[in-house]
Amino acid sequence: MTARIGVVTFPGSLDDRDTQRAIRVAGAEPVALWHKDKDLKQVDAVVLCGGFSYGDYLRAGAIARFSPVMEPLIDQAKAGLPVLGICNGFQILTEAHLLPGAMLGNDHLHFICRDQKLRVENADTAWTTDYTAGQEIHIPLKNMDGRYVADRRTLDELEAEGRVAFRYVDFNPNGSLNDIAGITNAAGNVVGLMPHPEHAVEPLIGTGRTDGLPFFTSILKKLVNA
């Protein structure tokens, strides 16, 4: 039976089709979810894709967090449903308190778009098992509000519990504290990151590498072997 991975589209989402393609390239079935859906169509996992939901009004992800689709998603994520938040999706996950901390404007106050080197810090989450801890990868990055912040106690907990999933290497593109590019919840089923792995699954697009594909093969293997 083919694993079904939902991709939520909000008004202002930009990368839903790219994410669906990445899921298909990995061998799973993408399922389109609309922000007004009140159920998740019995998917096995969900991706909140990148973009500018609701135009980033108020602050990035703040309005999307209250979309109808988020109610079942929050409940099921707390019960173990694998959820990946990419860029705006990461922002939504923090607004929904599925991940701690917050995303603020880049410290240089400019939109940034570049290929970014990351180090995999946690290869034990539902979305990272096809990586190895310490592995360095290149993933496209594009954001205006990508600066991860949290209070010192939260940062200390994330570091102590191994919940920093990815860290920027060589260059911190947005001023994120501790060079954090992505984090996970304690259970490892919810992961958020700013760079866009869906743009690095085929050699002809993005970085020209496939460093982002393991996100999608990792969750596929977890679902198949569950």
Structure tokens, 176? 């994120």
Which pLDDT value is given to residue 1?
Answer: 67
Please check the confidence at residue 162 and state whether its pLDDT lies above 70.
Answer: yes
Q: Look up 121 and say whether it is catalytic.
A: no
- Give the model's pLDDT for residue 224: 83
pLDDT digits over 70-83, tens only?
999 999 999 999 99
Catalytic site residue from 49, 95, 121, 198: 198
Tokens 């860290």 sit on residue:
167
Task: State the catalytic residue, choosing from 95, 121, 138, 196.
Answer: 196
pLDDT of the residue at 193? 98
pTM listed for this prediction: 0.96
108 is catalytic: no
Handedness of CA 48, 54, 58, 63 (dihedral sign): negative
Active-site position among 87, 95, 121, 199: 87
Whether the predicted pLDDT of 2 surpasses 90: no
Q: Is 87 a catalytic residue?
A: yes
Q: Which burial class, exposed, middle or buried, applies to 52 when counting CB atoms under 10 A from its CB (0-12, 13-18, 19+)?
A: buried
Q: Is the pLDDT of residue 121 over 90?
A: yes
Query: How do residues 38-59 score in pLDDT, each as one tens digit?
Result: 999 999 999 999 999 999 888 8
Three-state helix/strand/coil letters over the chain: CCCEEEEEECCCECCHHHHHHHHHHHCCEEEEEECCCCCCCCCCEEEECCECHHHHCCCCCCCHHHCCCHHHHHHHHHCCCCEEEECHHHHHHHHCCCCCCEEECCCCCCCEEEEEEEEECCCCCCCCCCCCCCCEEEEEEEECCCEEECCHHHHHHHHHCCCEEEEECCCCCCCCHHHEEEEECCCCCEEEECCCHHHCCCCCCCCCCCCCHHHHHHHHHHHHHC
pLDDT over 80 at 28, yes or no: yes
